[in-house]
A and B are shown apart, each in its own frame.
Chain A
Amino acid sequence: SATSKRKNQNRNRYTQAQDVTRVSSITDYNSSELKTACRKHELYVSFQDLGWQDWIIAPKGYAANYCGGECSFPLNAHMNATNHAIVQTLVHLMNPDYVPKPCCAPTKLNAISVLYFDDNSNVILKKYRNMVVRACGCH
């Protein structure tokens, strides 16, 4: 409780521009945790490697990305944590065997367009929403 009070006071004092500093100060006392903290990881899905270049005209692949890492206090170390993630973490701390931590999941997703042949050699250009992870957060 004392820690969270102090943290809140600090939060009020800092401006938006100092966000980076705040994150790095947290890093100092718990750097190992930040290494596994929830963040976006790069992952490229190659249509060429899948052997699909005879029917997918474009693109050759896309940077799908994924979210990985742990969601634990202090949650402000994790970008885009939801308010409810705090409650979820509290309940997890009280009952770790039964209640899981918040999930590290996408908060911003982008679309991609795929150009491909169908069985009849007709060509389809389709926009697929929510295919690329732009940002991750704790939910």
Chain B
Amino acid sequence: GTLVDRRSSVDSGFLYRRLKSHEKREMQKEILSILGLPHRPRPVHGLSPAQLNQPAKLNSAPLFMLDLYNAMSGQDQGMDLKDWSHRATLHSHQLKVKSLLGSHLGSVQDSAFLSDADMVMSFVNLVEHDKELSPRLWHHREFKFNLSQIPEGEAVTAAEFRIYKDCVLGSFENQTFLISIYQVLAEHRNRETNIFLLDTQTVWASDEGWLEFDITATSNLWVMNPRHNFGLQLKVETKDGRNVNTKAAGFVGRDGPYDKQPFMVAFFKASEVHLRTTR
């Protein structure tokens, strides 16, 4: 039943039979090989039939990717990733801040930057608990992503960290926040973490939507040296330099809705020709 010929068997001159279980396993292996996968992935948080029918139960990362996929389905298969990302930008309810992908598309139409990409990958945040519960890190929030299992030969061409910000008013009315994203260089037990500033953005407290930070260089480093991957830190300050708790500033964390969880997305390009191994 795996391979279904829609034409009648008489018409095509073949007689069809159901595959035996070992044949089915062999067939699965061959299809995985065509897809360039060494084995069948076993995701910890895979999809249940209920989730498939109710996209609202999906996490933000698969939802974003599904949005990309749906945007291009129905279109010509020749559509490249430049179009995908453009559509994703349109669908993502982003803030007024220019995103890496958006600004590239807006300014350089013929840029080979994204059209060269052949794979897009989203990564879920692996930090289980927001560290802002700890008094020392009250104004920071940490994020970690596993980039150790990138298919061989794929190089990062662009990467973004995406985090959702809710509207906050009250004491912050008419205020702006300076959002800074840092790469964690080293972690120490008894002293401050070594961090490196990657990007900053200024938003209104009343702003609501996805914020996007360019982390291309950092992602490249993490792919090359997974041991140097200590994650990212996010810090929020008021205009006059006062630290603000990220949750109080409206940033959605682990305890927030599924579809507003922070994640990162990366665009890849195959850097070498893949040769299938002899089986």
Bound together: yes
Residues of A within 8 A of B (CB): 35-36, 41-46, 49-50, 52-55, 57-59, 68, 110-128, 131-132
Residues of B within 8 A of A (CB): 1-7, 12-14, 24, 28, 31, 34-36, 40-49, 52, 61-62, 65-66, 68-70, 72-73, 77-78, 81, 84, 118-124, 145-146, 149
A125 CB, min distance to chain B CBs, angstroms? 4
Task: For B61, give the chain A residue with the smallest CB separation.
Answer: A123
Name the A residues within 8 Å of B49 (CB-CB): 53
Supply 13 A–B pairs (Cβ within 8 Å), ascending by A: A41-B12, A42-B6, A50-B24, A54-B43, A55-B41, A57-B66, A58-B66, A68-B13, A119-B41, A119-B43, A120-B44, A121-B45, A125-B65
Partner of A118, one of B5, B14, B43, B120: B43
Report whether over half of chain A's contact residues are helix, strand or loop; otherwise say mixed: strand
A44 touches B6 (CB 8 A): yes
Bound complex: CA A111 to CA B36 (Å): 14
Name the A residues within 8 Å of B122 (CB-CB): 122-123
B7 touches A117 (CB 8 A): no
A122 CB, min distance to chain B CBs, angstroms? 5
Name the B residues within 8 Å of A36 (CB-CB): 13
Partner of A45, one of B2, B66, B81: B2
Partner of B120, one of A50, A52, A110, A125: A125
Task: For A47, give the chain B residue with the smallest CB separation.
Answer: B31
Name the A residues within 8 Å of B2 (CB-CB): 45-46, 49-50
Name the A residues within 8 Å of B3 (CB-CB): 43-46
Bound complex: CA A125 to CA B123 (Å): 12
Task: For B4, give the chain A residue with the smallest CB separation.
Answer: A44
Task: For A64, give the chain B residue with the smallest CB separation.
Answer: B3
Name the B residues within 8 Å of A123 (CB-CB): 61-62, 65, 121-122
Name the A residues within 8 Å of B4 (CB-CB): 43-44, 46, 49
